[in-house]
Amino acid sequence: MKREELVNNIQRKGSFLCVGLDPDIKKIPAHLLEGENPLYEFCRQIVDATAPYCVAYKPNLAFFESLVADGLRQLEMTVKHIRENHPDQFVIADAKRGDIGNTSALYARAAFEHMGVDAITVAPYMGEDSVKPFLGYEGKWVVLLALTSNPGSKDFQLLPVNAEGRRLFEEVILKSSEWAGPEEMMYVVGATQGRMFEDIRRVAPKSFLLVPGVGAQGGSLEEVCRYGMLPDGECGLLVNSSRGIIYASTGLDFAAAAGEAARTLAAQMATLL
Amino acid sequence: MKREELVNNIQRKGSFLCVGLDPDIKKIPAHLLEGENPLYEFCRQIVDATAPYCVAYKPNLAFFESLVADGLRQLEMTVKHIRENHPDQFVIADAKRGDIGNTSALYARAAFEHMGVDAITVAPYMGEDSVKPFLGYEGKWVVLLALTSNPGSKDFQLLPVNAEGRRLFEEVILKSSEWAGPEEMMYVVGATQGRMFEDIRRVAPKSFLLVPGVGAQGGSLEEVCRYGMLPDGECGLLVNSSRGIIYASTGLDFAAAAGEAARTLAAQMATLL
């Protein structure tokens, strides 16, 4: 999906919500475990209930890979369901991959050619040749980790890397900007970072940001928008919520509850756009 | 596998060779493509031919995941084959994973409980809570990326992160040493880094190092041993070769050629031990 189409979807729906699909076999409603494809069935119902209120889905591969081959099969089914029934949704494989060049090329092939997602999250530690194989696919995106939402983000991402006090996450954004423009690269910036969005916008003035950490992790939607939103309807944010939506209820009404939670969050977003 | 057992295997076999299992569907011998499980069949024959000359196998998940669910199924078959037929081999899932705590916990479960490998490579960018869920499994290991073998290693890993000129890869080793000792954490250090092994040993004096980059990537085995090997028979190195062994021939004799390439490398290792 091209940037223009993503921006159009955001404006049309009045939402920049991304729903994180983290189907934990230990948390999904018990009645689904009787079927053959519980992760898929859980995701399918969540997707159908939330699609009117979001513009993107972010399946996290860890939750599918926890069942190894059987889980990846259900991930493929999930992506296919979204593609066929909700073609206006932007699909991000949350994989945090990154390896030497020839190996990253295989991860790219799996994500973009086999699974058919629009974007994949990539870890920057191994540098340019670990990221570049994900670039150059028409309409596909790299979502590079910059400043993450977890406590450990302070361990390395905030270290100063030059005499002027530039920090590692800023260096990651500046250097990777030489590899790809804001038409095919986004950055992960955790909602828990608040005012840091001002610093982010200094080094990434036009890029879309994928923002996890609203809800269960404690980030504030208002703060993210105040400091991170782009002007002129460009938005430049995809705010992700996972647990707050998909586990809104763990009973028979889980899908309806997820739809309601997504609707509520989207309504807040509409007022902020 | 505990460290003592790994060291014993190295001494007994006179080898610290790790064979990298990178089964590229576009490179494996054509006659295997007619069967149902070409990646597994390729790996199985490579393993059976090379097992006398190595102490470890490192399947890279990217090569299996390039076929998505079908590939992961063949990875499970490969690990099972090694476990059942070559129980003295140390198996490293080369996955370079790392995510927020609850998600890393799922990757750990997949690797250690479902697949049953001994170790998994982990990327450090997201810090402590992204690494810790992989720790604390009896006899299991984290292999943390420190200084990788690829050109992009210079982009971020070599940046100075404090006034004394400590570099990011050194900070990664020092900080992660607070999370786990050399009984359950190793580091990835590329063979292409030569003299840098002296610097590595200053911050990781007792740790095992997983060393890719000998062979196709140009690293020197002698240099790695001169600057990186631990004294007193502890060795402290697992030197990986992938392409140089598994693609020694792409004909019907591929397994025998791989065995011969492993035997040659192991013979060099025996003189260096």
CA–CA separation, B205 and B211 (whole Å): 15
Provide the 3-class DSSP secondary structure of residue B266.
helix
Q: Pick from B106, B154, B99: which is nearest to B122 by CA?
A: B99
CA–CA min distance A147, chain B (Å) = 9
For residue B214, name the pLDDT band (cuts at 50, 70, 90).
Answer: confident
Tally C-beta pairs within 8 A across A and B: 191
- CA B195, B200, B205, B209 dihedral sign is negative
The pLDDT value recorded for residue A140 is: 98
CA–CA separation, B109 and A179 (whole Å): 35
CA–CA separation, A267 and B251 (whole Å): 62
Q: The tokens of A148 are what?
A: 């993450």
Q: CA of B72: which chain A residue's CA is closest?
A: A69
What are B91-121's pLDDT values in tens digits? 999 999 999 999 999 999 999 999 999 999 9
CA–CA separation, B223 and B211 (whole Å): 12
Question: What dihedral angle (degrees, nearest 10) is formed by the CA atoms of B8, B11, B12, B18?
Answer: 90
The pLDDT value recorded for residue A7 is: 98
Residues 6+ apart with CB under 8 A from A188: A121, A143, A144, A145, A146, A147, A148, A209, A210, A211, A212
User: Rounded to 5 degrees, what angle do the CA atoms A22, A26, A30 make?
Assistant: 105
B145 touching A (Cβ < 8 Å): yes
Q: CATH for A3-272, among 3.40.50.2300, 3.40.190.10, 3.20.20.70, 3.30.70.600?
A: 3.20.20.70
CB contact under 8 A, B131 and A114: no
Burial class of B178 by CB neighbour count within 10 A (0 to 12, 13 to 18, 19+): exposed
Q: Pick from B68, B129, B72: which is nearest to B98 by CA?
A: B129
* Conformational region of residue A91, where left means phi above 0, alpha means psi within -120 to 50, and beta covers everything else: beta
Q: What beta strand segments (E) does chain B contain?
A: 17-21, 56-59, 90-97, 119-122, 141-147, 185-189, 209-211, 237-241
Considering only the beta carbons, identify the residue of A62, A100, A148 that sits closest to B106.
A62
For residue B197, name the pLDDT band (cuts at 50, 70, 90).
Answer: very high
- On chain B, the residues whose CB falls within 8 A of the CB of A152 are 126-131
Q: The tokens of B66 are what?
A: 């390039």
The pLDDT value recorded for residue A152 is: 97
Q: CA of B163: which chain A residue's CA is closest?
A: A163
A150 touching B (Cβ < 8 Å): yes
The pLDDT value recorded for residue A254 is: 98
B96 among known catalytic residues = yes
Q: What is the CA radius of gyration of chain A?
A: 18
What are B238-259's pLDDT values in tens digits? 999 999 999 999 999 999 999 9
Q: Which helix (H) or strand (E) holds B197?
A: helix B196-203
Quick one: DSSP state of residue B194?
A: T
Chain A 10-39, residues with CB within 8 Å of chain B CB atoms: 22, 24
Q: Are B92 and B51 in contact (CB under 8 A)?
A: no
- In terms of DSSP H, where are the helices of B14-100? 38-50, 61-65, 68-85
Cut 0.80: pTM above it = yes
Q: Pick from B251, B220, B271, B243: which is nearest to B60 by CA?
A: B243
Q: What share of chain A is helix, strand, coil (3-state, %, to 5)?
A: 50, 20, 35
B218 touching A (Cβ < 8 Å): no
- On chain A, the residues whose CB falls within 8 A of the CB of B157 are 125-127
A87 touching B (Cβ < 8 Å): no
Average pLDDT, chain B: 96
CB contact under 8 A, A168 and B161: yes
User: Rounded to 5 degrees, what angle do the CA atoms A269, A207, A229 make?
Assistant: 30
Residue B226 pLDDT exceeds 90 = yes
Q: Are A58 and A211 in contact (CB under 8 A)?
A: no
CA–CA separation, A11 and B101 (whole Å): 34
Calculate mean pLDDT across residues B39-49.
98
CB contact under 8 A, A150 and B76: no
B161 touching A (Cβ < 8 Å): yes
Considering only the beta carbons, identify the residue of B96, B114, B154 that sits closest to A98.
B96
CB contact under 8 A, A96 and B101: no
CA–CA separation, A158 and A189 (whole Å): 13
- Which one is catalytic: B96, B132, B154, B206? B96
* Conformational region of residue B165, where left means phi above 0, alpha means psi within -120 to 50, and beta covers everything else: left
A159 touching B (Cβ < 8 Å): yes
Digits of tens for pLDDT over chain A (273 positions)? 999 999 999 999 999 999 999 999 999 999 999 999 999 999 999 999 999 999 999 999 999 999 888 999 999 999 999 999 999 999 999 999 999 999 999 999 999 999 999 999 999 999 999 999 999 999 999 999 999 999 999 999 999 998 888 999 999 999 999 999 999 999 999 998 878 999 999 999 999 999 998 877 778 999 999 999 999 999 999 999 999 999 999 999 999 999 999 999 999 999 999
Q: Are B147 and A127 in contact (CB under 8 A)?
A: no
> What's the CATH fold of domain B3-140+208-219+233-272?
TIM Barrel (3.20.20)
What are B63-88's pLDDT values in tens digits? 999 988 899 999 999 999 999 999 99
CA–CA separation, A245 and A264 (whole Å): 10
Q: Pick from B245, B241, B235, B203: which is nearest to B220 by CA?
A: B241
B68 touching A (Cβ < 8 Å): yes
- Which one is catalytic: A26, A27, A96, A154? A96
Distance between start and end Cα atoms, chain A: 21
- On chain A, the residues whose CB falls within 8 A of the CB of B66 are 106-107, 109-110, 114
CA–CA min distance A27, chain B (Å) = 12
Residue B194 pLDDT exceeds 90 = no
B116 touching A (Cβ < 8 Å): no
Quick one: DSSP state of residue A41?
A: H
Q: CA of B115: which chain A residue's CA is closest?
A: A68
Q: Are A157 and A108 in contact (CB under 8 A)?
A: no
ipTM of the complex: 0.95
